[in-house]
Structure 1
């Protein structure tokens, strides 16, 4: 109890020395001129969700091709039909991530009307479409045995996991690219 009291006392002293929020001088934000806004957008471009979706698709196709190639060369899986089935399963698993992500990227790329509630509308739209994306992924996984007769669940889950994990790597690479471009535009 003594620690809590001392902590509260220290906070009160610190707050008293800094003044309160009510007493702080408010600085009015100044709007940017058209040229300043253009330079700011050039220096800090918006990240494109399409690059991340493209990375997921490319890596999904590469892993599926690699699965088929390794299977054919090593004879793992018995026949060429079995290996093509495994490669197709990897591709279907990656597609179960990429196709709903592309739909979400498409919807979120559309502009929202410019009004006071635009941030709230955008957040609500994101939550609704993120749930839709998840539902589509689950629906694709449930439909997989009927759509893909020679399905390999292990390969499908492998493609699914690879496509999901590429999202993080692609986002990291995109952020590095953007910061490098920003540094170059500032002349650093």
Structure 2
């Protein structure tokens, strides 16, 4: 009964069938982000294979960590900071277009200059958590490829509007049906 309601365990992303094996390339094969993405691929049952023209590929393009001061102490030192972690990556499934995405993770933390050593360890832990969360977001986005990147096919659906006929793609028909259902609710 639980399978009929759509319930899935957290982290089970129902990736498309085309992505049961994937080639992973990265700007740095030994980075923490690459290891986190490899771990997420293994957890979701995706085999990592060598790049070919017939296998889907995931390319980690870049990562960046930016810092912004949110508040100051009375002596003009930074009290609270915001960390922003950005990852750019692209996904190529054979027969579909290359899609480039960016995922962003934000975190705030208090920076106390009196406990500099403890705060540097805390910051390292926050950065690790942000990388792991970005890797999860990459897999979540890949799960959406099933709906977002369906190949466009022209079907024989013909619409009649004021005596004019036009051919419509299957994707457009489904999109119009879903928007009609949303507006009626």
TM over 0.5: no
Greater fraction strand:
2
Q: Which has the higher contact order (CA 8 A, sep 6+)?
A: 1
Larger Rg: 1 or 2? Answer: 1
Normalised by the length of structure 2, the TM-score is 0.29
TM-score of the superposition, structure 1-length normalised? Answer: 0.29
Higher helix share: 1
